[in-house]
A = this chain, B = another copy of it.
């Protein structure tokens, strides 16, 4: 019998990832492109990847998705796709079944099927990048809820978020929050190694710059990472107190800063969450990393075809 494949697409932020995934969850080939001009990029990428045996396309999209209607409700970090009926468009162009899910939910599914989540039946996956997303696995399956963890308010009188809320976790603990804070502190004349990076333009500072400077002992950078970690820890504590998961799996660009940022978050979560719940949760990094999203998106196809028994 010939092997079956699906295309898994991760429309998670500044990059578009498309992968050809086997029904065993193995990535055969992968493309990464900037997510500007999305439909054109998607079209080219899918054409390059299509081959015999591809039974569908799974999409993980940064934003609020409607599983039943197969539409994107709202995508605060990727507004250009809000107006596009992307599922219908892909189906029209390629004649394949198309499934849609929130990107972090897809990543959680990927991690459950082939990553660090394999040995847990109940975990929360958190994607730490430009924004903060979440997905929840419960009794081995994706919990079909929004899981917009980045838009949980942890500061009643806090900063306004583009989503409409104030004090959202994302505004304190994401990559965007860190760089914004670095810029603000440098503008105020804060002394830091960061002034000499980024070719002299403080507006180009990246989370990597901040982490590297922190490793060299830069006080301002260490403070930014620790602050962001503390806020992340409040989010973790809230999730622990509400969802009492066996594990929290962290993924995304910010994981590179595990030693400072995530360690601080774990410390804060241990102080804030209910003791008995904290003692039974493991906080660990993703094992699929960037690939969790495409693997999970492809799984949407296999699951719909009944090829992968619901875990």
Binding site for B on A (CB under 8 A): 64, 73-74, 122, 134, 138, 143, 145-149, 151-158, 163-167, 172, 231, 234, 237-238, 241-245, 271-277
Contacts and interface: CB of A to CB of B under 8 A. Distances in A.
B234 A274 contact: no
Contact of A164 (B73, B152, B238, B275): B275
A264 to B, nearest CB: 14
B163 A274 contact: yes
A127 B153 CA distance: 20
A143 B143 CA distance: 10
B146 A73 contact: no
B147 A242 contact: yes
A164 B272 contact: yes
Q: A interface, by DSSP: helix, strand, loop or mixed?
A: mixed
Contact of A234 (B145, B156, B277): B156
Contacts of A146: 241-244, 274, 277
B152 A242 contact: yes
24 contacts: A64-B277, A74-B275, A134-B242, A138-B143, A138-B145, A145-B243, A146-B241, A146-B244, A148-B241, A148-B242, A148-B274, A153-B234, A153-B237, A153-B238, A154-B154, A154-B155, A154-B156, A155-B155, A156-B158, A156-B172, A164-B273, A165-B237, A165-B271, A165-B272
Contacts of A244: 145-146
Contacts of A245: 145
A274 B73 CA distance: 10
Nearest to A146: B244
Contacts of A241: 146, 148, 151-152, 165
Given A138-B143, A237-B165, A276 B151 contact: no
* 3 closest residue pairs by CB, A with B: A146-B244, A73-B276, A148-B241
